[in-house]
Amino acid sequence: MRFTRRAAVAAVGVAALLTATACGSSDDSSGGGSGSSKVEVFTWWADGGEKAGLDGLVKQFGTDCAGQTFENGAVAGGAGANAKSVLASRLQQSDPPDTFQAHAGAELQDYINAGQIEDLSADYDSWGLKQAFPQGLIDNLTVEGKIYSVPANIHRANVVWTNKKVLASAGITKDPTDLAGFIADLDKVKAKGIAAPLAIGKDWTQLMLFESVLITDLGPDKFTGLWTGATDWNDPLVTKAINDFKTLLTYTNSDRDALDWTDAEKLVMDGKAAYQLMGDWEAADLDAKKFTDYAWFTFPGNGDTFQWLADSFVLPKGAKNPEGTKCWLKTVGSDAGQKAFNTTKGSIPARTDAKPADYPKYQQAAIADWKSFKQVPSCAHGSACSQGWQGAANSALGKFSTNSDVAELQKAMATAASEFVKK
């Protein structure tokens, strides 16, 4: 009986306490501002240079769209992997943000197919964007005559970032131009006692490296063909590329599957590695982290190939504040908006009328390259392949990281292609 009474007191006490807490905080939390002037912008730009770029854009949005307030819906992690899973949930829950970030190209196609985003063609005309963006990009954005997104930038994926001090101590003075040269340099760094000179992270970062090797071994045209069905994944050149990729993996850190790209970046910053292949958002991130001893070169053997991806913004069906969102999209596409965004984000403007002089050193080079280089898309970043294909590729690379079975990877990629390539 003693027990019962004490239990009663405790239970009632706890219940009362909890109810009080719950009621005390019963401000609206599940609703969200319907019909409001808030624009919820969903991105995966939560840290470093990416965050800085977003902040710049937000500032411009404040000037251009008086009366509208920006609401940050950023979800961090994994170059968008986390965000995309949250986004997929929200779209499936019919609770879309007012606008979200999507890679132009095949990835955008998924949302279009699912009927989740609105046609923006008319706005393109009224905002004069068709003239502002290069024709090639417009072609990539156009699906059956309609355009569904406004690109904020162009990124480049096939860049190797280096720690200058480490390279100097290994006596490396020239950038390698082919794979053999790169491997020779990796050996030199290794001889200096750095066991894993090439820093890398988990699946999708490995896919990026693999794609760069594919570009080197197949050349840009055949590489692009891999994603359109024009090139057979069973091609012996692919076998060669997988073998080269396998060799490169032997120079990487063994804990790769536990690391995100920023962890790998830290290895380079700390001098525990000399190289990392990563998109050029790394430039802004290194700047934001006040690391200055870095340099870059195009992945050896890629020559004049610019592997691009573009972050673009869309208007989802069912957005709560379409007017505000359109104003956001207009800002994103405007000259001032692109400048505010790209000068800090590390990317280059999608508009052709941007002035290179406004940009930091790396981007000046990239702007020039974008104009003259051969452009190829990226699967790891959704411009080449759909999300389903990307998932299959990441999984296959994840397996390769554990067993280095060349034939198996090739077979897996070939099967994935036959499953996902548009017939």
Partner 1 sequence: MRKLRHWGPGLLLLSPSLILLAVFVYGLIAWTTKVSVSDEHNALGSKGFAGLENYTKLFTNDINDRFTHSLKNLLVFTVVFLVGAMFFGLLWAFILERGVKAEGFFRTVYLFPMAVSFVASGVVWRWLMNPNKGDSAGGLNSVLGGLGLDFLQNTWWTNPDWGMAAMAIPAIWQLSGYVMALFLAGFRGIPQELREAAAMDGASTYRLYRNVIFPQLTPVALSALIILGHMSMKMFDLIMSVSGPQWLTEVPAIYVWQTLLTSDYAKAAAISIILLLLVAVVIVPYLIYTNRQEKNA
Partner 2 sequence: MTTTSVEAPPPPSVETLTPVRKPKRGGGPGAIVKYALALVFLIIVLMPLYVLIVTSFKAGSDIGVASQWSLPETWTLASWEKAWNALQPAFFRTFQLAVPVAIISSLIGAANGFVLSRWRFPGADVVFTLILFGMFIPYQAVMIPLREIVTTLGIPPGITTLVLVHCIYGIPICTLIFRNYYATTVPEELIEAARVDGAGLLRTFGRIILPISIPGFVVTIIWQFTSAWNDYLFAIFLSNTRNGPITIALNALAGAQSPDYAASMAGALITSLPTLVVYVLLGRWFIGGLMAGSVKS
CA atoms within 13 A on the CB side of 316: 27
| Contact string (CB under 8 A) for partner 2, positions 62-91, x = contact | -----------x-xxxxx--x---x--xx-
Minimum distance, C-beta of residue 30 to partner 2, in the bound complex (Å): 3
Decide if residue 421 touches partner 1 (CB under 8 A).
Answer: no
- Name the residue with tokens 């599940």: 30
Minimum distance, C-beta of residue 117 to partner 1, in the bound complex (Å): 12
- Name the residue with tokens 């292609």: 417
Give how far the C-alpha of residue 86 lies from the chain's centroid of Cα atoms, to the nearest Å: 15
DSSP letter, residue 299: P
Decide if residue 32 touches partner 1 (CB under 8 A).
Answer: no
Alpha carbon dihedral 231, 308, 102, 224, in 10-degree steps, equals -10
Q: How far is the C-alpha of 182 from the C-alpha of 253, rounded, in Å? A: 17
- DSSP track, 199-256: E--SHHHHHHHHHHHHHHHHHHHHHHHHHHTSS-TT-HHHHHHHHHHHHHHTTB-TTG
Choose the one of partner 1, partner 2, none that binds residue 123, judging by a C-beta under 5 to 8 angstroms depending on kind: none
- DSSP track, 247-264: HHHTTB-TTGGG--HHHH
Stretch that binds partner 2, among 46-54, 351-359, 394-402, 412-420 (CB under 8 A): 46-54
| Strand blocks (E) in 76-231 | 99-103, 142-143, 146-147, 149-151, 155-156, 159-163, 198-199
Choose the one of partner 2, partner 1, none that binds residue 113, judging by a C-beta under 5 to 8 angstroms depending on kind: partner 1
Q: How far is the C-alpha of 230 from the C-alpha of 251, rounded, in Å? A: 32
Minimum distance, C-beta of residue 46 to partner 1, in the bound complex (Å): 16
CA atoms within 13 A on the CB side of 253: 25
Q: Binder to partner 1 among 374, 391, 406, 421 (CB under 8 A)?
A: 391
Type of residue at 377: P
Minimum distance, C-beta of residue 396 to partner 1, in the bound complex (Å): 6
Minimum distance, C-beta of residue 37 to partner 1, in the bound complex (Å): 30
Minimum distance, C-beta of residue 422 to partner 1, in the bound complex (Å): 12
Tell me which residues in 218-257 interact with partner 1 (CB under 8 A).
254-255, 257
Closer CB to partner 2, residue 83 or residue 159? 83
Q: Binder to partner 2 among 261, 328, 373, 420 (CB under 8 A)?
A: 261
Binding site for partner 2 (CB under 8 A): 3-4, 7-8, 10-11, 14-15, 18-19, 21-22, 25-26, 29-32, 40, 46-48, 73, 75-79, 82, 86, 89-90, 92-95, 260-263, 266
Contact positions vs partner 1 (CB under 8 A): 78, 81, 84-85, 88, 92, 110, 113-116, 202-203, 254-255, 257-258, 272, 386-388, 391-392, 394-399, 401-403, 408, 412, 415-416, 419
